[in-house]
């Protein structure tokens, strides 16, 4: 999935956090948090950025992903805000 995202968004800055261990679910699908930094997001709303991610990962979302938290930034936003990591989403309904 990592290489697919890197290729689709033409970037090397992608982080995927698997939060499945923090969630109770009875299936094998994953709870993921994804961070993507790409100029493909320039002048795009957050909604359209997320649509792009859902389009890129449509197969995985239908088959292996149960929950997905998406963080998208342009390179300018990334540098300006000095973003290193993102907080993992821990389910409060564990």
CA 88-91-93 angle, 5° bins: 170
pTM higher than 0.95:
no
92, part of any domain? no
Write the CATH number for 48. Answer: 3.30.300.90
Taking residue 90's Cβ as centre, other Cβ atoms within 10 Å add up to 11
Question: Is 88 domain-assigned?
Answer: no
Sign of the dihedral defined by the CA atoms of residues 58, 59, 63, 66, in that order: negative
Beta strands in the chain (DSSP E): 13-18, 30-37, 65-73
The answer to whether residue 89 is domain-embedded is: no
pLDDT tens-place values along the chain, 94 residues long: 999 999 999 999 999 988 877 766 656 788 899 999 999 999 999 999 999 999 999 999 999 998 899 999 999 998 888 776 665 554 444 3
Q: Which domain holds residue 57?
A: 2-80
What's residue 94's pLDDT?
37
Can you give the pLDDT at residue 39? 96
Domain-embedded: residue 51: yes
Per DSSP bridges, beta strands 65-73 and 30-37 are parallel
As for how many domains the chain has, the answer is 1
């Amino acid at each position: 999935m990592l290489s697919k995202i890197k290729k689709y968004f033409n970037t090397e800055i992608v982080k995927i956090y698997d939060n499945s261990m923090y969630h109770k679910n009875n299936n094998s699908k994953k709870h993921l948090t994804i961070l993507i930094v790409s100029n493909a997001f320039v002048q795009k709303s957050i909604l359209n950025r997320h649509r792009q991610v859902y389009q890129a990962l449509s197969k995985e979302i239908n088959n292996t992903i149960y929950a997905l938290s998406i963080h998208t930034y342009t390179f300018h936003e990334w540098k300006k805000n000095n973003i290193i990591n993102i907080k993992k989403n821990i389910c409060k309904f564990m």
